Structure 1
Amino acid sequence: MKRRSFVKQSIIGGAVAAVTPAVAMSQAKTTAVEYYELRVYTFKDERQQKLTEDFYRDVFIPTTKKLTKEPVGVFAELSPVGQSKLFVLIPYSNFAQIDLLFDQLENDKAYWTKGSAYLNAPASDPAFEQLDTSILKAFEHSPVKELPAKEERIFELRQYKSASEAAGKKKIEMFNDKGEVDIFKRLGFKPVFFGETVIGDNRPNLTYMVTFKNMDDKAAHWKAFGADPEWKKISAPADYADALLVSKITSTMLKPTAYSLI
Protein backbone atom coordinates (compact mmCIF):
# COMPACT_ATOMS: atom_id res chain seq x y z
CA MET A 1 0.00 0.00 0.00
CA LYS A 2 1.23 3.47 -0.83
CA ARG A 3 2.21 5.62 2.11
CA ARG A 4 -0.69 8.04 2.06
CA SER A 5 -0.48 9.83 5.40
CA PHE A 6 -0.09 13.53 4.68
CA VAL A 7 -0.53 14.09 8.43
CA LYS A 8 2.54 12.02 9.19
CA GLN A 9 4.61 13.85 6.60
CA SER A 10 3.59 17.29 7.85
CA ILE A 11 3.70 16.61 11.59
CA ILE A 12 6.33 13.92 12.06
CA GLY A 13 8.56 13.98 9.00
CA GLY A 14 10.67 17.08 9.48
CA ALA A 15 10.51 17.14 13.25
CA VAL A 16 11.55 13.64 14.31
CA ALA A 17 15.23 14.17 13.60
CA ALA A 18 15.30 17.33 15.71
CA VAL A 19 13.10 16.12 18.57
CA THR A 20 14.05 12.47 19.01
CA PRO A 21 17.64 12.96 20.32
CA ALA A 22 16.46 15.50 22.88
CA VAL A 23 13.57 13.29 23.91
CA ALA A 24 15.80 10.24 24.27
CA MET A 25 18.31 12.17 26.37
CA SER A 26 15.56 13.66 28.53
CA GLN A 27 13.84 10.34 29.16
CA ALA A 28 17.14 8.72 30.06
CA LYS A 29 17.51 11.20 32.90
CA THR A 30 13.91 11.59 34.06
CA THR A 31 10.71 9.67 34.60
CA ALA A 32 9.10 8.55 31.34
CA VAL A 33 6.18 10.74 30.36
CA GLU A 34 3.28 10.45 27.94
CA TYR A 35 2.77 12.43 24.75
CA TYR A 36 -0.51 13.76 23.39
CA GLU A 37 -1.67 14.61 19.91
CA LEU A 38 -4.27 17.36 19.83
CA ARG A 39 -6.25 17.72 16.61
CA VAL A 40 -8.62 20.67 16.10
CA TYR A 41 -11.06 20.50 13.19
CA THR A 42 -12.85 23.45 11.60
CA PHE A 43 -15.97 22.71 9.58
CA LYS A 44 -18.16 24.75 7.26
CA ASP A 45 -21.35 22.76 7.92
CA GLU A 46 -22.99 19.89 9.78
CA ARG A 47 -22.30 17.45 6.95
CA GLN A 48 -18.55 17.82 7.36
CA GLN A 49 -18.78 17.48 11.13
CA LYS A 50 -20.96 14.36 10.90
CA LEU A 51 -18.62 12.74 8.36
CA THR A 52 -15.61 13.37 10.63
CA GLU A 53 -17.40 12.29 13.79
CA ASP A 54 -18.63 9.10 12.11
CA PHE A 55 -15.03 8.33 11.18
CA TYR A 56 -13.75 8.76 14.73
CA ARG A 57 -16.65 6.87 16.33
CA ASP A 58 -16.81 3.94 13.92
CA VAL A 59 -13.24 3.61 12.60
CA PHE A 60 -10.47 5.56 14.31
CA ILE A 61 -11.33 4.92 17.96
CA PRO A 62 -11.99 1.16 17.60
CA THR A 63 -8.82 0.72 15.53
CA THR A 64 -6.47 2.72 17.74
CA LYS A 65 -7.91 1.22 20.92
CA LYS A 66 -6.93 -2.18 19.57
CA LEU A 67 -3.46 -1.03 18.53
CA THR A 68 -2.41 1.22 21.43
CA LYS A 69 -4.88 0.42 24.26
CA GLU A 70 -5.09 4.19 24.79
CA PRO A 71 -8.39 6.08 25.19
CA VAL A 72 -9.09 8.73 22.55
CA GLY A 73 -11.10 11.76 23.60
CA VAL A 74 -13.38 13.60 21.18
CA PHE A 75 -14.98 16.89 22.20
CA ALA A 76 -17.23 19.59 20.75
CA GLU A 77 -17.39 23.18 21.88
CA LEU A 78 -19.82 23.75 24.75
CA SER A 79 -21.19 27.02 23.34
CA PRO A 80 -20.05 27.32 19.73
CA VAL A 81 -20.42 30.44 17.64
CA GLY A 82 -21.65 28.95 14.40
CA GLN A 83 -20.50 25.45 13.48
CA SER A 84 -18.68 23.78 16.36
CA LYS A 85 -15.03 22.87 16.10
CA LEU A 86 -14.10 19.30 16.99
CA PHE A 87 -11.21 18.56 19.35
CA VAL A 88 -9.53 15.14 19.35
CA LEU A 89 -7.05 14.13 22.05
CA ILE A 90 -4.91 11.08 21.26
CA PRO A 91 -2.64 9.83 24.08
CA TYR A 92 0.63 7.98 23.46
CA SER A 93 2.69 6.13 26.04
CA ASN A 94 5.91 7.55 24.53
CA PHE A 95 7.13 9.54 21.53
CA ALA A 96 8.03 6.48 19.45
CA GLN A 97 4.44 5.24 19.62
CA ILE A 98 3.32 8.23 17.53
CA ASP A 99 5.34 7.12 14.52
CA LEU A 100 4.44 3.47 15.12
CA LEU A 101 0.71 4.20 15.06
CA PHE A 102 1.00 6.14 11.80
CA ASP A 103 2.79 3.20 10.21
CA GLN A 104 0.21 0.72 11.53
CA LEU A 105 -2.71 2.77 10.23
CA GLU A 106 -1.11 3.34 6.83
CA ASN A 107 -0.81 -0.40 6.31
CA ASP A 108 -4.21 -1.38 7.73
CA LYS A 109 -6.40 -2.15 4.69
CA ALA A 110 -9.55 -2.50 6.80
CA TYR A 111 -8.95 0.94 8.30
CA TRP A 112 -8.70 2.57 4.86
CA THR A 113 -11.73 0.69 3.59
CA LYS A 114 -13.98 1.42 6.58
CA GLY A 115 -12.85 5.03 6.80
CA SER A 116 -12.89 5.71 3.06
CA ALA A 117 -15.61 8.38 3.17
CA TYR A 118 -13.40 10.51 5.43
CA LEU A 119 -9.91 9.40 4.41
CA ASN A 120 -10.58 9.65 0.67
CA ALA A 121 -12.92 12.64 0.67
CA PRO A 122 -12.50 14.53 -2.63
CA ALA A 123 -11.08 18.05 -2.85
CA SER A 124 -14.41 19.20 -4.27
CA ASP A 125 -16.24 17.97 -1.17
CA PRO A 126 -13.73 17.73 1.73
CA ALA A 127 -14.39 16.24 5.15
CA PHE A 128 -13.24 19.42 6.91
CA GLU A 129 -12.13 22.96 6.16
CA GLN A 130 -9.00 22.94 8.34
CA LEU A 131 -7.11 20.55 10.60
CA ASP A 132 -4.60 21.93 13.12
CA THR A 133 -2.42 19.38 14.88
CA SER A 134 0.07 19.66 17.73
CA ILE A 135 2.16 17.23 19.77
CA LEU A 136 2.45 17.79 23.52
CA LYS A 137 4.83 16.31 26.06
CA ALA A 138 3.38 15.70 29.53
CA PHE A 139 4.86 17.56 32.49
CA GLU A 140 7.26 15.55 34.63
CA HIS A 141 5.15 16.33 37.71
CA SER A 142 2.05 14.94 35.95
CA PRO A 143 3.56 12.35 33.60
CA VAL A 144 0.40 10.41 32.74
CA LYS A 145 -3.21 11.34 32.05
CA GLU A 146 -5.97 10.94 34.61
CA LEU A 147 -9.35 9.89 33.25
CA PRO A 148 -12.46 11.46 34.80
CA ALA A 149 -15.44 9.39 35.83
CA LYS A 150 -18.06 8.80 33.13
CA GLU A 151 -20.64 11.10 34.64
CA GLU A 152 -21.92 14.61 34.00
CA ARG A 153 -18.81 16.54 32.99
CA ILE A 154 -17.46 19.39 30.91
CA PHE A 155 -13.84 20.24 30.18
CA GLU A 156 -11.79 23.39 30.01
CA LEU A 157 -8.87 23.34 27.61
CA ARG A 158 -6.44 26.13 28.52
CA GLN A 159 -3.35 27.27 26.64
CA TYR A 160 -0.74 29.72 27.94
CA LYS A 161 1.36 31.20 25.17
CA SER A 162 4.69 32.81 26.04
CA ALA A 163 6.67 35.42 24.13
CA SER A 164 9.99 33.57 24.50
CA GLU A 165 11.35 30.09 25.14
CA ALA A 166 12.77 31.22 28.49
CA ALA A 167 9.40 32.64 29.60
CA GLY A 168 7.65 29.43 28.58
CA LYS A 169 10.08 27.30 30.59
CA LYS A 170 9.65 29.59 33.59
CA LYS A 171 5.87 29.17 33.47
CA ILE A 172 6.23 25.39 33.28
CA GLU A 173 8.56 25.61 36.27
CA MET A 174 5.65 27.01 38.29
CA PHE A 175 3.63 23.88 37.48
CA ASN A 176 6.41 21.31 37.80
CA ASP A 177 8.69 22.57 40.54
CA LYS A 178 6.70 25.08 42.55
CA GLY A 179 3.55 23.07 43.15
CA GLU A 180 0.90 24.52 40.83
CA VAL A 181 -0.10 21.06 39.57
CA ASP A 182 -0.62 19.94 43.16
CA ILE A 183 -2.95 22.88 43.82
CA PHE A 184 -5.16 21.91 40.89
CA LYS A 185 -5.41 18.35 42.19
CA ARG A 186 -5.93 19.36 45.84
CA LEU A 187 -8.77 21.71 44.90
CA GLY A 188 -10.53 19.03 42.86
CA PHE A 189 -10.07 20.35 39.32
CA LYS A 190 -9.63 16.74 38.14
CA PRO A 191 -6.98 17.55 35.52
CA VAL A 192 -6.77 15.19 32.55
CA PHE A 193 -3.28 16.27 31.45
CA PHE A 194 -0.67 19.02 31.54
CA GLY A 195 1.59 19.31 28.50
CA GLU A 196 4.16 21.43 26.72
CA THR A 197 3.70 21.80 22.97
CA VAL A 198 6.84 20.43 21.30
CA ILE A 199 5.47 20.41 17.72
CA GLY A 200 2.73 22.72 16.52
CA ASP A 201 1.59 26.29 16.20
CA ASN A 202 1.81 29.18 18.68
CA ARG A 203 4.92 27.87 20.38
CA PRO A 204 6.14 28.24 23.02
CA ASN A 205 3.04 27.30 24.97
CA LEU A 206 1.74 24.95 27.60
CA THR A 207 -1.70 23.37 27.39
CA TYR A 208 -3.80 21.56 29.96
CA MET A 209 -7.31 20.16 30.42
CA VAL A 210 -9.36 20.21 33.62
CA THR A 211 -12.79 18.77 34.41
CA PHE A 212 -15.94 20.21 35.98
CA LYS A 213 -19.54 19.09 36.50
CA ASN A 214 -20.96 22.25 34.95
CA MET A 215 -20.26 25.97 34.53
CA ASP A 216 -21.24 26.79 38.13
CA ASP A 217 -18.79 24.18 39.33
CA LYS A 218 -16.11 25.73 37.10
CA ALA A 219 -16.71 29.19 38.56
CA ALA A 220 -16.51 27.88 42.12
CA HIS A 221 -13.25 26.04 41.48
CA TRP A 222 -11.51 29.00 39.84
CA LYS A 223 -12.65 31.26 42.68
CA ALA A 224 -11.11 28.83 45.17
CA PHE A 225 -7.92 28.68 43.12
CA GLY A 226 -7.52 32.46 43.06
CA ALA A 227 -7.99 32.66 46.84
CA ASP A 228 -5.74 29.72 47.66
CA PRO A 229 -2.87 30.74 50.02
CA GLU A 230 -0.42 28.36 48.36
CA TRP A 231 -1.21 29.80 44.92
CA LYS A 232 -0.72 33.31 46.21
CA LYS A 233 2.65 32.27 47.62
CA ILE A 234 3.75 30.66 44.34
CA SER A 235 2.65 33.56 42.15
CA ALA A 236 3.96 36.33 44.45
CA PRO A 237 7.61 36.51 43.24
CA ALA A 238 8.11 39.21 40.61
CA ASP A 239 9.81 36.83 38.19
CA TYR A 240 6.64 34.67 38.11
CA ALA A 241 4.31 37.51 37.12
CA ASP A 242 2.01 36.61 34.23
CA ALA A 243 2.94 39.87 32.52
CA LEU A 244 6.46 38.48 32.11
CA LEU A 245 5.66 34.85 31.38
CA VAL A 246 2.33 34.74 29.52
CA SER A 247 1.48 36.71 26.39
CA LYS A 248 -1.92 35.12 25.74
CA ILE A 249 -4.32 32.78 27.55
CA THR A 250 -6.89 30.83 25.55
CA SER A 251 -9.73 29.02 27.30
CA THR A 252 -12.10 26.71 25.42
CA MET A 253 -15.03 24.99 27.11
CA LEU A 254 -15.75 21.54 25.74
CA LYS A 255 -18.30 18.75 26.10
CA PRO A 256 -17.44 15.12 25.37
CA THR A 257 -19.17 13.38 22.49
CA ALA A 258 -21.25 10.32 23.34
CA TYR A 259 -18.47 8.03 22.07
CA SER A 260 -15.50 9.84 23.65
CA LEU A 261 -13.34 7.61 25.84
CA ILE A 262 -12.27 10.58 28.00
Structure 2
Amino acid sequence: MRSAVLLLCCVGLFAAFIQPKTPAPVDTRLYEMRVYYSPEGKQPDLMARFRNHTMRIFEKHGMTNVGYFVPQHKPDSCLIYFLSYPNRAARDSSWKAFGSDPEWKKVSSESEKNGRIVSKVISKFFHTTDFSPQLQIDQKGNRVFQLRTYKTTPYNLPLLLARFRNHTTKLFEKHGMTNLVYWTEDNTDNILMYLLTQKSKEAGEAAFKAFREDPEWVSVRTASEKLANGSLTESVTSVYLVPTDFSPLK
Protein backbone atom coordinates (compact mmCIF):
# COMPACT_ATOMS: atom_id res chain seq x y z
CA MET A 1 0.00 0.00 0.00
CA ARG A 2 2.75 2.41 1.01
CA SER A 3 4.66 1.60 -2.23
CA ALA A 4 1.55 2.32 -4.32
CA VAL A 5 1.09 5.71 -2.64
CA LEU A 6 4.74 6.56 -3.25
CA LEU A 7 4.41 5.58 -6.92
CA LEU A 8 1.34 7.80 -7.34
CA CYS A 9 3.19 10.71 -5.74
CA CYS A 10 6.12 10.28 -8.15
CA VAL A 11 3.81 10.12 -11.14
CA GLY A 12 2.07 13.28 -9.94
CA LEU A 13 5.39 15.09 -9.55
CA PHE A 14 6.48 14.03 -13.04
CA ALA A 15 3.18 15.19 -14.59
CA ALA A 16 3.36 18.53 -12.81
CA PHE A 17 6.91 19.12 -14.02
CA ILE A 18 6.33 18.34 -17.67
CA GLN A 19 2.80 19.78 -17.96
CA PRO A 20 2.99 22.02 -21.02
CA LYS A 21 1.63 25.53 -21.03
CA THR A 22 -0.55 26.81 -23.85
CA PRO A 23 1.88 26.84 -26.77
CA ALA A 24 2.40 29.76 -29.13
CA PRO A 25 1.82 29.15 -32.85
CA VAL A 26 4.56 26.80 -34.01
CA ASP A 27 6.85 27.65 -36.91
CA THR A 28 6.58 24.52 -39.08
CA ARG A 29 9.35 25.48 -41.51
CA LEU A 30 12.42 23.31 -41.92
CA TYR A 31 15.68 25.01 -40.91
CA GLU A 32 19.11 24.02 -42.12
CA MET A 33 22.39 24.96 -40.47
CA ARG A 34 25.35 24.84 -42.83
CA VAL A 35 28.98 25.26 -41.79
CA TYR A 36 31.58 25.99 -44.46
CA TYR A 37 35.31 25.62 -43.89
CA SER A 38 37.74 27.24 -46.32
CA PRO A 39 41.38 26.52 -47.16
CA GLU A 40 43.75 28.99 -45.51
CA GLY A 41 43.41 32.46 -46.96
CA LYS A 42 40.28 31.63 -48.99
CA GLN A 43 37.52 32.74 -46.62
CA PRO A 44 37.35 36.32 -48.04
CA ASP A 45 36.64 34.80 -51.47
CA LEU A 46 33.86 32.66 -49.98
CA MET A 47 32.35 35.67 -48.23
CA ALA A 48 32.44 37.70 -51.44
CA ARG A 49 30.67 34.91 -53.32
CA PHE A 50 27.86 34.80 -50.77
CA ARG A 51 27.62 38.59 -50.54
CA ASN A 52 27.54 39.22 -54.27
CA HIS A 53 25.87 36.13 -55.71
CA THR A 54 24.94 33.08 -53.62
CA MET A 55 22.33 34.63 -51.34
CA ARG A 56 20.46 36.15 -54.27
CA ILE A 57 20.49 32.84 -56.17
CA PHE A 58 19.27 31.03 -53.04
CA GLU A 59 16.29 33.39 -52.88
CA LYS A 60 15.69 32.91 -56.61
CA HIS A 61 15.14 29.21 -55.92
CA GLY A 62 12.80 29.64 -52.96
CA MET A 63 15.25 29.43 -50.07
CA THR A 64 15.03 31.93 -47.21
CA ASN A 65 18.30 33.41 -46.01
CA VAL A 66 18.04 33.60 -42.22
CA GLY A 67 21.46 34.52 -40.87
CA TYR A 68 25.17 34.34 -41.65
CA PHE A 69 27.78 34.32 -38.89
CA VAL A 70 31.41 33.73 -37.98
CA PRO A 71 32.65 32.57 -34.55
CA GLN A 72 33.68 35.57 -32.47
CA HIS A 73 36.76 33.87 -31.03
CA LYS A 74 38.10 32.85 -34.45
CA PRO A 75 36.24 34.59 -37.27
CA ASP A 76 38.38 33.12 -40.04
CA SER A 77 37.76 29.52 -38.97
CA CYS A 78 34.41 28.98 -40.71
CA LEU A 79 31.15 30.46 -41.98
CA ILE A 80 27.97 29.35 -40.19
CA TYR A 81 24.64 30.10 -41.79
CA PHE A 82 20.97 29.21 -41.56
CA LEU A 83 18.37 28.77 -44.29
CA SER A 84 14.69 27.90 -44.04
CA TYR A 85 12.25 26.13 -46.35
CA PRO A 86 8.56 25.16 -46.27
CA ASN A 87 9.51 21.49 -45.86
CA ARG A 88 12.14 18.88 -46.78
CA ALA A 89 10.73 18.22 -50.24
CA ALA A 90 10.89 21.94 -51.04
CA ARG A 91 14.44 22.07 -49.70
CA ASP A 92 15.62 19.22 -51.91
CA SER A 93 13.89 20.69 -54.95
CA SER A 94 15.42 24.13 -54.32
CA TRP A 95 18.94 22.76 -53.97
CA LYS A 96 18.57 20.68 -57.12
CA ALA A 97 17.49 23.77 -59.07
CA PHE A 98 20.25 25.85 -57.49
CA GLY A 99 22.93 23.30 -58.37
CA SER A 100 21.89 23.20 -62.03
CA ASP A 101 21.39 26.97 -62.41
CA PRO A 102 23.68 28.26 -65.22
CA GLU A 103 24.29 31.49 -63.31
CA TRP A 104 25.45 29.58 -60.23
CA LYS A 105 27.69 27.33 -62.30
CA LYS A 106 29.34 30.40 -63.82
CA VAL A 107 29.75 32.11 -60.43
CA SER A 108 31.17 28.93 -58.87
CA SER A 109 33.65 28.42 -61.68
CA GLU A 110 34.86 32.02 -61.70
CA SER A 111 35.25 32.14 -57.92
CA GLU A 112 37.46 29.03 -57.95
CA LYS A 113 39.84 30.00 -60.75
CA ASN A 114 42.64 30.21 -58.19
CA GLY A 115 41.64 27.10 -56.27
CA ARG A 116 38.75 25.76 -54.21
CA ILE A 117 37.30 28.11 -51.62
CA VAL A 118 35.37 25.48 -49.66
CA SER A 119 37.17 22.50 -48.15
CA LYS A 120 34.40 21.02 -45.98
CA VAL A 121 30.64 21.42 -45.52
CA ILE A 122 28.52 20.31 -42.57
CA SER A 123 24.73 20.33 -42.89
CA LYS A 124 22.10 19.63 -40.22
CA PHE A 125 18.30 20.00 -40.19
CA PHE A 126 16.06 21.36 -37.45
CA HIS A 127 12.47 22.18 -36.53
CA THR A 128 11.39 24.74 -33.95
CA THR A 129 10.13 23.58 -30.57
CA ASP A 130 6.60 24.28 -29.40
CA PHE A 131 7.89 26.90 -26.94
CA SER A 132 10.22 28.74 -29.32
CA PRO A 133 9.54 32.42 -30.00
CA GLN A 134 8.67 33.18 -33.61
CA LEU A 135 12.02 33.87 -35.23
CA GLN A 136 12.20 37.48 -36.35
CA ILE A 137 14.74 38.07 -39.13
CA ASP A 138 15.65 41.64 -38.28
CA GLN A 139 18.73 43.85 -38.15
CA LYS A 140 18.84 45.37 -34.68
CA GLY A 141 22.63 45.39 -34.65
CA ASN A 142 24.89 46.01 -31.66
CA ARG A 143 24.43 42.49 -30.31
CA VAL A 144 26.12 39.10 -30.39
CA PHE A 145 24.48 35.73 -30.86
CA GLN A 146 25.13 32.73 -28.66
CA LEU A 147 24.60 29.33 -30.25
CA ARG A 148 24.14 26.62 -27.64
CA THR A 149 23.78 22.91 -28.34
CA TYR A 150 22.69 20.37 -25.73
CA LYS A 151 23.12 16.63 -26.11
CA THR A 152 20.90 14.88 -23.60
CA THR A 153 21.49 11.75 -21.63
CA PRO A 154 19.46 8.77 -22.96
CA TYR A 155 15.68 9.32 -23.12
CA ASN A 156 15.84 12.71 -21.40
CA LEU A 157 15.13 15.12 -24.26
CA PRO A 158 11.43 15.43 -23.23
CA LEU A 159 12.44 16.38 -19.68
CA LEU A 160 14.98 18.91 -20.96
CA LEU A 161 12.38 20.45 -23.27
CA ALA A 162 9.92 20.62 -20.39
CA ARG A 163 12.49 22.40 -18.23
CA PHE A 164 13.11 24.98 -20.93
CA ARG A 165 9.40 25.34 -21.75
CA ASN A 166 8.27 25.88 -18.18
CA HIS A 167 11.26 27.48 -16.49
CA THR A 168 14.58 28.09 -18.26
CA THR A 169 13.47 30.49 -20.98
CA LYS A 170 11.80 32.75 -18.41
CA LEU A 171 14.89 32.71 -16.20
CA PHE A 172 17.04 33.64 -19.18
CA GLU A 173 14.83 36.69 -19.75
CA LYS A 174 14.97 37.52 -16.06
CA HIS A 175 18.75 37.79 -16.35
CA GLY A 176 18.77 39.94 -19.46
CA MET A 177 19.16 37.33 -22.19
CA THR A 178 16.91 37.36 -25.26
CA ASN A 179 15.45 34.06 -26.44
CA LEU A 180 15.65 34.08 -30.23
CA VAL A 181 14.79 30.56 -31.40
CA TYR A 182 14.84 26.96 -30.13
CA TRP A 183 15.23 23.92 -32.37
CA THR A 184 15.41 20.15 -32.09
CA GLU A 185 17.49 18.28 -34.65
CA ASP A 186 15.67 16.12 -37.17
CA ASN A 187 16.13 12.35 -36.95
CA THR A 188 17.69 12.48 -33.49
CA ASP A 189 16.18 12.16 -30.03
CA ASN A 190 18.86 13.89 -27.98
CA ILE A 191 19.69 17.33 -29.44
CA LEU A 192 18.38 20.77 -28.48
CA MET A 193 19.98 23.77 -30.18
CA TYR A 194 19.08 27.41 -29.63
CA LEU A 195 20.15 30.99 -30.21
CA LEU A 196 20.25 33.73 -27.59
CA THR A 197 21.23 37.36 -28.13
CA GLN A 198 23.13 39.57 -25.72
CA LYS A 199 24.75 42.99 -25.89
CA SER A 200 28.22 41.46 -25.82
CA LYS A 201 30.06 38.27 -24.93
CA GLU A 202 31.00 39.83 -21.57
CA ALA A 203 27.37 40.66 -20.85
CA GLY A 204 26.37 37.13 -21.81
CA GLU A 205 28.93 35.55 -19.50
CA ALA A 206 27.79 37.77 -16.62
CA ALA A 207 24.15 36.91 -17.30
CA PHE A 208 24.86 33.17 -17.30
CA LYS A 209 26.77 33.47 -14.05
CA ALA A 210 23.79 35.18 -12.42
CA PHE A 211 21.44 32.61 -13.94
CA ARG A 212 23.41 29.65 -12.61
CA GLU A 213 23.48 31.15 -9.12
CA ASP A 214 19.75 31.99 -9.08
CA PRO A 215 18.04 29.97 -6.29
CA GLU A 216 15.03 29.42 -8.53
CA TRP A 217 17.22 27.83 -11.22
CA VAL A 218 19.02 25.69 -8.64
CA SER A 219 15.64 24.42 -7.43
CA VAL A 220 14.36 23.73 -10.94
CA ARG A 221 17.53 21.92 -11.96
CA THR A 222 17.50 19.81 -8.80
CA ALA A 223 13.87 18.80 -9.29
CA SER A 224 14.40 17.84 -12.95
CA GLU A 225 17.53 15.84 -12.18
CA LYS A 226 15.70 14.03 -9.41
CA LEU A 227 13.11 12.88 -11.95
CA ALA A 228 15.85 11.79 -14.35
CA ASN A 229 17.96 10.20 -11.64
CA GLY A 230 20.90 12.29 -12.83
CA SER A 231 21.88 15.05 -15.21
CA LEU A 232 19.65 15.70 -18.22
CA THR A 233 22.62 16.61 -20.40
CA GLU A 234 25.63 14.67 -21.59
CA SER A 235 27.34 17.70 -23.15
CA VAL A 236 26.75 21.41 -23.73
CA THR A 237 28.59 23.50 -26.30
CA SER A 238 28.46 27.28 -26.60
CA VAL A 239 29.78 29.51 -29.38
CA TYR A 240 29.46 33.29 -29.60
CA LEU A 241 28.69 34.36 -33.14
CA VAL A 242 29.09 37.68 -34.94
CA PRO A 243 26.85 38.37 -37.96
CA THR A 244 28.54 39.02 -41.29
CA ASP A 245 28.01 42.36 -43.01
CA PHE A 246 25.57 40.68 -45.43
CA SER A 247 23.54 38.71 -42.85
CA PRO A 248 19.76 39.35 -42.91
CA LEU A 249 19.75 38.67 -39.15
CA LYS A 250 21.92 41.04 -37.12
Report TM bin, short chain.
Answer: 0.7 to 0.9
Q: Is the 8 A contact 1:134 1:199 kept in 2?
A: no
Q: Deviations over 1:58-113 (max 9, x none)?
A: 122122335447333111111129x4221111133444432232233134322332
The residue number in structure 1 matching 2:244 is 257
1:43 to 26, 38, 41: 38
Q: Deviations over 1:203-242 (max 9, x none)?
A: 7311111111112211232133224454334322134679
The residue number in structure 1 matching 2:19 is none
Distance of 1:134 and 1:243 partners within structure 2: 28
Query: Does residue 169 of structure 1 match 2:162?
Result: no
Change (3 A) 1:190 1:71: farther
Change (3 A) 1:113 1:160: same
Change (3 A) 1:246 1:130: same
Give 1:54-203 correspondences, 5 Å limit: 54-68=48-62, 70-80=64-74, 83-117=76-110, 121=112, 125-142=115-132, 144-147=134-137, 149-164=139-154, 166-176=155-165, 178-199=166-187
Distance of 1:143 and 1:95 partners within structure 2: 22
1:57 aligned counterpart, secondary structure: helix
Distance of 1:66 and 1:230 partners within structure 2: 48
Distance of 2:227 and 2:49 partners within structure 1: 43
Distance of 1:220 and 1:148 partners within structure 2: 25
Aligned sequence identity (%): 23
The normalised TM-score by structure 2 is 0.75
Aligned residue type for 1:40: V
2:124 aligned counterpart, secondary structure: strand
The residue number in structure 1 matching 2:12 is none
2:36 aligned counterpart, secondary structure: strand
2:192 to 206, 228, 250: 206
Change (3 A) 1:94 1:225: farther
Distance of 1:229 and 1:133 partners within structure 2: 38
Alpha-carbon deviation of 1:259? Answer: 0.8
Aligned residue type for 2:248: L
Give the greater-gyration-radius structure (CA): 2
Aligned residue type for 2:182: F
Q: Which one is further off, 55-64 or 95-104?
A: 95-104
Distance of 2:244 and 2:103 partners within structure 1: 24
2:64 aligned counterpart, secondary structure: coil
Distance of 1:229 and 1:97 partners within structure 2: 46
Change (3 A) 1:216 1:248: same
Q: Which one is further off, 32-41 or 222-231?
A: 222-231
Change (3 A) 1:225 1:78: same
Report how many residues are paired: 224
1:41 aligned counterpart, secondary structure: strand
Q: Give the aligned CA root-mean-square deviation in angstroms.
A: 3.0
Aligned residue type for 2:156: A
Change (3 A) 1:109 1:220: same
1:79 aligned counterpart, secondary structure: coil
Aligned residue type for 1:219: E
Alpha-carbon deviation of 1:149? Answer: 4.2
